[in-house]
Each structure stands twice: as C-alpha cells, then as structure tokens.
Structure 1
Amino acid sequence: MTVAEKVIKPTKAGIFRTVFLYTGQGESTLLVIPTGSKVNDYMFVLVDCDRDKEPNEIDLIEMFKDLFVTDGELSIFINTHPHNDHIGGIKEVYDEIGFSEVWHSNHKPGGEHKKKYKDFQYVVEKVGKSNEYFLLGSNALNKIRTSDDKEVIKNIGLVDYQILSPAEYLCEDIEDADANERNRRIHEQCGVIKFTYGKEAKSILFTGDSDKKAWQEHITDYHMDNLPSFVLSASHHGSRTFFKDDEDDDDVYETHIENIKPTYLIISAPKQDDSPHGHPHDDALELYKKHVDEDGIFHLGANVISVIVDIDSDGNVDVNTDKELIEEYGKGNDDDDDDSSKNTARNIYIGSQTSKIDNKPMG
C-alpha cells in the first residue's frame, strides 16, 4: 500500500474525509466523498490546485499516481477563482491524472494570471461543455448552473453542498467590466462553497480568497441562516482582506464569522516569513482568535503539515494532522529533515494542541 492510499483512503465506510494539503503559498484540498455503504464507495474531488516549486509542498501528480495505483480516480475539479495559486499546475494534473468535470466561478482574469488561465481554459475545453458547471450563489442544496445556463440539481455522493457565492448579478456586472476592473474584483467574484454531512449535520466552509466586500455586500445577509460551519477554511491564506479593505481600514467586518461560528480554522499558507504577502496577517489572526479557540486553529505552514478532517455518517468529527504526505511527496525537504519535524505536530502556530489531534491519519 502506498503512503497516499494509507493516509487518504478511509478504511471505514461512510466517512467524509477532507484533506487540506500543504502546498506552500497556495491552496489544494482533496475531498473523499462517500457514495455508498461499502468501504470502497468513494469519489474524489479536488478543490483548487497549486503546483509549483515551493519547498516542502506536496507534488499533486506524484501523490495522485500513488493514490490511484490500484483503484479510484479524480472525478471533479472545483476552482474557486482563477488566480495562479489556485489553478497552478491544473493542466499537468489533467494530462497526467485526468478528471471528468470542472466547476468554476467563470471569472476571466488578465495580467500575470493570463498564462495559467490559458492552461485552465485548455482543461475546460478538454472536459467539454457538457461537463463544465458554473458556481452561482443559491439558497438551494446541490444546485449548480450548467454551461448552457440551466440550473440543475446535481448530487455528489452522499454529501450535500451549497454554493453561497458568487451572486449572479455580480457576475453579470463584472463580465461587462474592463480587464483592470475584473482583476480588481476577482476576490469579490470568488466561489464560496459549503459541504455538509452526517445525521447531526456538520459542515466545512470553503471561502477561496473571498474578501470583505463579497461578504458584506453579497453573501452574509442573503445566506445568514446557512453560514454556520464546524470547519472554516480561512479566506485568502489568512489575509486581513477577509475582515478589512486594507491594513489601515478601521471599519473591521466580523458579521460573517460571528454567524459562521467555526470550531476549527484551517489556514493554507507557508510560514509567515516565507509568504510573499506576509500571510497569515497578524491582525487577521488576532481577529480569528476572537471567534475560534486557539487549539482549534491550524496554520499548515507553521509546522509544515496537512490537516485531515473526518466526518462520519452520524456527524462525529475527528481532526488530525499528517506529515507523511509531505515526507513522501513534498519537494525540497532538505530544510525540514531534523527529527523534531517528523514527530507529532502539536504546536501549531497558535496555542498548543493536546487532546484534539495527533499525527496519525484517521481510518
């Protein structure tokens, strides 16, 4: 059995597993979604893609090759927005691994993101119009928009999802804008998706790089009752833009997180000194700490870990850290070879985790 199979594939039926993969300054999360009552009844969905040459980041292609060496396949790629650190390497993943569907925000960027966006367009063309879906906000469960503009109910296994953003009227507004305005508003048009599972329903909320304007003007008021989530993936790698327009903005926005009420927060970012943008921002961390207990905050880059969240069919949740994927598939590990880095990852950036996590994958 390969490391990827051991860590990622559940050994019990009916587990919804979410693997927040360490990819440095970027984001890639693998969903293992139950589809039936047998141990091997699962489908695999990738939310965002980041594949470049940062130290220790997991090579998605090598990991997927090992994950699917005996069975299974990647079914869907969901892109919250087409920035380089959320679509980087997707052409190679498609060519080497393959997947049948693409869900995306339908944003058209320019500037520095154009090259990788062309790679993303290549993938969309390859899967074909009938397998392309648009993320548009809805109060309905499991509703998505086809590429020919039809709203459809589309189930993905036994897990429910709800698309909270972007709003349709916003997409229409941005579509008519020039390239500079589109680039400026890409985070406003970012996909925000909630996945829910279990009899006592537990949810994981993916926020992409959605910003204060998106939440304040388009998401929170409209979806207030649908915001509560057990696990929150921190927007924009722990950037202050979730709460503020900029560092000097005194009009701090917290209504969204007051209603999300997360128990766990996952921050996909490298060590702060290694981030070109200083992620996660100190002022954002202080705001997050007002709403999430310190032992529930996981910054992937602080100890170079991935985080695995398991929800069973009753709604019980287990959260564990993992270093095996990084040790096996990480690139440039020479700076992380000391013994302490390969022991338990209990000191995760903020506070000290004791009873809630260890370094063993669930199964």
Structure 2
Amino acid sequence: MSNTAKDVIIPTEPNIFRTIFLYAGQGDSTLLVVPDGDEYKYVLIDSNYDEAAGGIDIVELFKDLFDDGDSELDIYINTHPHNDHLGKIRDIYDQIGISQLWHSGHKPGKEHRGSYDDLEYVIKKIGEENVFRLRGSTEENKLDEKEIILGDIKYNVLAPADYVSDDIEDEKPETRYSRIHEQCGVIRFKYGEDEQQILITGDADYTAWKDHITDYHKDRLPSKVLSAAHHGSKSFFWKDGDTDEEPYKDHLKKIKPTYITVSAPKEKESKHDHPHKEAMDLYKEEVGDDKVFHLGEKRECIIVDIDSAGEIELYPDDELVKAYGKQDDGKDDGGNKVIIPPPVTKIDKKPMGA
C-alpha cells in the first residue's frame, strides 16, 4: 500500500537536508528532515490545521510517516504561541509523541490562551530537561545557553534576545500581547560543504528586525532561502503596517535571498488578507516574480533539498496536499488541485554569489 508521507518526505539518498514548507492554509508549518549519520531526525517548526482553506492535517500525515508505532517527532519548535503556529500540538504529542521542544518563552494574551494551554500541557508531559528556550546568540548551535547539536546540520538562533524577552515579560498583559511578534523566534539553518542556508522567521515584525536583529546579526542573516515573515504581511516592512511611510528594507538586503516562500492561503481565504500585495511586490522586486513561492496560490508544498556538497534543489509538491489536505466538507482536496509537473524549478547548482 502506498504511503504518501514516506514517499515524499524521506530522502531516497543519504546525507540530504530536506526542508518541506507545508501548506497549512492560514498558518505556518515547516518540516525539517535532518541528516544524522545514516539516519534522519524530524523537526517540525510550528503547526496549524486550516481545514476551510484545505490545509494539510499534520497529525494524519505523521500517522503515516511514523507508522511503525515506535517512532516519534524528534523536535517541535514553536516560534511564538499564536493559534495559527501552535495548532494541533497537543494532538501531535498525544497521538505521535514529541521528544524535545524549543519555544520563545512568550506568554500570550487571553485570545490565544487555548493553544498556550496546549503548549504548557506538552511541556509538562515531556519534562523540563527536554524543553529549551530560544535565546538570540552569536554562537552556532547554541540553545538556551547550551550547545545542542542537531544532527549533521548547523543553526543560529537569532531571536528573541534575552533583553527583549525580559522587557516584554514585565509588561501588562495587553501590552505584552501586542509585542508577541517582537519576541518571535528566528532561526537560520545551514548545511553543505558549500554552505547553503534557510532562514525561518515566524511572524517577526518590523520592530524585531529594525531594533533587535538586522544590525546585530547582519553577518548571520545571508540565506539562500527565506521563509517570509508573518504569512507575507506588510508588518515585515512597515511599523504597524502603515504603508504611508517608506518601507524598511535593510533586513531583506542583508538576507539577500535567492528564493522566498510565503505560507498563506489565497488572500480571499485569509481573515487577515494574507499575503499583502504591498509585501509581495517588495519580495518580487528583490528576487523576481518566479522566485517567490506563495503556497496557497496552487495549494502546494515547496521542498528544498541540500546535499552534503552544498548543491541545492527546490521543487513543488502537491501530493501531500492531495493526500492530507481537507476541505471544510471533510473531503480530500485533490479534486480541486491544480496539477503541475514536478520539478518546475531548480536552483542553479552554483556557489552563492555566482
């Protein structure tokens, strides 16, 4: 019997660092398949299940991926505890299992308490010794003031900085809630002899980048692939989304991405109108129209493979959405899916800057 999750997710060759930007509808979910000697570790960054927009049901996907009954998710990373980045975390723990958890440490307001309760539930279940705070650092593989090795890849936790978390934690609840995107996790992952990088940004906003990240981490920002912040929101470029002002673009210039992925449904399917046209125009201006991948446009995932030499390949996949994406009527999404021949896009196998 065919197992779509295993067929798509598990590399057929050794020493491949595979990143899958999963179509989650209104939300974010990225699966890292991390080489670890002859084996692989599985790391999920954020999760959501937007059934109305045909998003992937991550629990059903994991049931197939870990169908031996003995395996579980190695690491769950939460960039910040908003509902659309924490959806299904309790179900993932209860039905699949989670060995280790990394999180920003933010305590959200009442609106998002439900998902935060689920996060606290998982933290209690897996034990404090398996839980780590994301703390911005200049050091490689540094997590919560400890060296934590993640298979054969390397990483930099860029945000949130301790002083930002301390400042926000002292605020009143309503102010603390308004600054959640300022206290968001930002992590760069790296692999290959000719090193290639993938930058995960969560919902980190204008203030986070302008005041805390860009200048301090400028040498650690360059990345081949950028996961666009906040579902393609204009909050990445403008304070409070005020487009009457000039956009802030220093961060994008320092990241210097070749490819950009945007985790959002179609604008008409998003209660926040994500992705915002103003932001998408700036992304396309930076890398070109054909190098910005909006997951919701065709309801597809984007897969990035990096081998040990540093050769990189990027291609779309619609099989995971067809197998695990649901409509609000409970039917598989495959019937309405636009089929495209994979792969349609490959990154030139050249050193960065060539």
TM-score bracket, normalised by the shorter chain, equals over 0.9
Contact persistence 2:263–2:294 (CA under 8 A): yes
Matched letter for residue 275 of structure 2: P
Please give the alpha-carbon distance, in whole angstroms, between the structure 2 residues aligned to 1:45 and 1:231: 18
1:306 aligns with 2:301: yes
Q: Which amino acid aligns with 2:35?
A: P
Q: Any conservation in 1 of the 2:25–2:49 contact (CA below 8 Å)?
A: no
Matches within 5 A, 1:222-301: 222-245=216-239, 246-301=241-296
Could you tell me how far apart the structure 2 residues matched to 1:223 and 1:194 are?
11
Given that 2:72 and 2:99 are in contact with CA atoms closer than 8 Å, whether structure 1 keeps it comes out as no
- Given residue 60 of structure 1, which amino acid in structure 2 is its aligned partner? I
CA distance in 2, matches of 1:313, 1:249: 45
Secondary structure of the structure 2 residue equivalent to 1:187: helix
1:112 matched residue in structure 2: 111
Q: CA deviation at 1:345?
A: 7.4
Instruction: Please state how far the C-alpha of 1:289 moved relative to its aligned partner.
Output: 1.5
Aligned 8 A contact 2:136 2:157 in 1? yes
Task: Work out the number of aligned pairs and report it.
Answer: 341
- Matched residue, 1:43: 41
Q: Which runs of 5+ in 1 are unaligned?
A: 146-150, 347-353, 358-363
Identical-residue share of aligned pairs (%) = 50
The CA distance in 1 between the partners of 2:27 and 2:333, in whole Å, is 20
Amino acid at match of 2:107: K
How do 1:71-220 and structure 2 match up within 5 A?
A: 72-145=71-144, 151-220=145-214
Query: Residues 329, 355 of structure 1: CA spacing in aligned structure 2 closer, same or farther, 3 A cutoff?
Result: closer
For 1:292 and 1:212, locate their aligned partners in 2 and report how far apart those are by CA, in whole Å.
20
How big is each residue's C-alpha offset from its partner over 1:119-139, in whole Å with a ceiling of 9 and x where there is no partner? 111011111110110001001
Contact 1:80 1:105 in 2 (8 A): yes
Checking the alignment, whether the CA contact within 8 Å between 2:21 and 2:301 is kept in structure 1 is yes
Q: Which runs of 5+ in 2 are unaligned?
A: 348-354
Contact 1:171 1:189 in 2 (8 A): yes
Distance, in Å, in 1 between the alignment partners of 2:216 and 2:136 is 10
1:43 to 1:289, Cα distance in 2 relative to 1, 3 A: same
Structure 1 residues 27-38: aligned runs within 5 Å = 27-36=28-37, 38=38
RMSD: 1.6
SS of 1:100 mapped into structure 2: strand
Matched to 2:175, the amino acid is E
Residue by residue over 1:14-45, the C-alpha shift from the partner in whole angstroms, topping out at 9 and shown as x without a partner, is 00000111110001110000000x3xx10000
Shift of 1:248: 3.2
Would the aligned equivalents of 2:322 and 2:333 in 1 still touch at CA under 8 Å?
no
Could you tell me how far 1:160 is from its partner in structure 2?
0.2
Cα offset for 1:290?
1.9
Counterpart position of 2:350? none
Q: Residue 351 of structure 2 aligns with which residue?
A: none
CA shift digits 1:245-271 (9 cap, x unpaired): 223341310000001000110000001
CA contact (8 A) 1:265 1:298 kept: yes
CA distance in 1, matches of 2:225, 2:89: 26
- The secondary structure found in structure 2 opposite 1:269 is coil
Corresponding position of 1:342: 339
